[in-house]
Amino acid sequence: MLLLSDFLVLALPLTPGTRHLIGADTIGRMKRGCCLVNTARGSIVDEEAVANTLSEEKLGGYVADVFEVEDFLRCDRPASISPRLLTERSRTVFTPHLGSAEHKVRRAAEFEMARSILDYFSGQAPRGAVNNPAKKPSAIAC
């Protein structure tokens, strides 16, 4: 499938098994000129490998609104976005992660957060919690 695709759009969670899932080996198996789109989590992509393949013109383009520097559960996350990746302006598009930046969506989220706070202070687990709210999240790949 990788050899045939013109676009690869990532839509998966960051787990120890998906960290740097898209690296030099995976990109090497992709169709020359394929465009990689990452709106999932920054650390799913090895940004240095992407920078290398962009400069070698193996990868046709990279679009992202998430970056490794933003994955705060990684104790070894980079301190900044790779400068080499940022210099590839003709084949990259970077945008802020703003999918929820719409008034009605933000308002609904605010109400849900308020309900969760009220649940917590009344001794209940916040509704919709996908983790155990009493535990801190664990680090990824340290």
Enclosing H/E stretch for 26: helix 24-28
Full-model pTM: 0.71
List all residues 6 or more positions away from 11 whose beta carbon is below 8 Å from its beta carbon: 39, 40
pLDDT tens-place string over residues 51-80: 999 989 899 999 999 999 988 888 898 999
Q: CATH 3.40.50.720 residue ranges in the chain?
A: 7-94
Which residues does the annotation mark as catalytic? 41, 70, 97
Superfamily holding 7-94: NAD(P)-binding Rossmann-like Domain (3.40.50.720)
Instruction: List CB contacts of 12: < 8 A, sequence separation 6 or more.
Output: 18, 21, 40, 41, 44
* Positions in the chain whose pLDDT score sits under 70: 99-100, 130-142
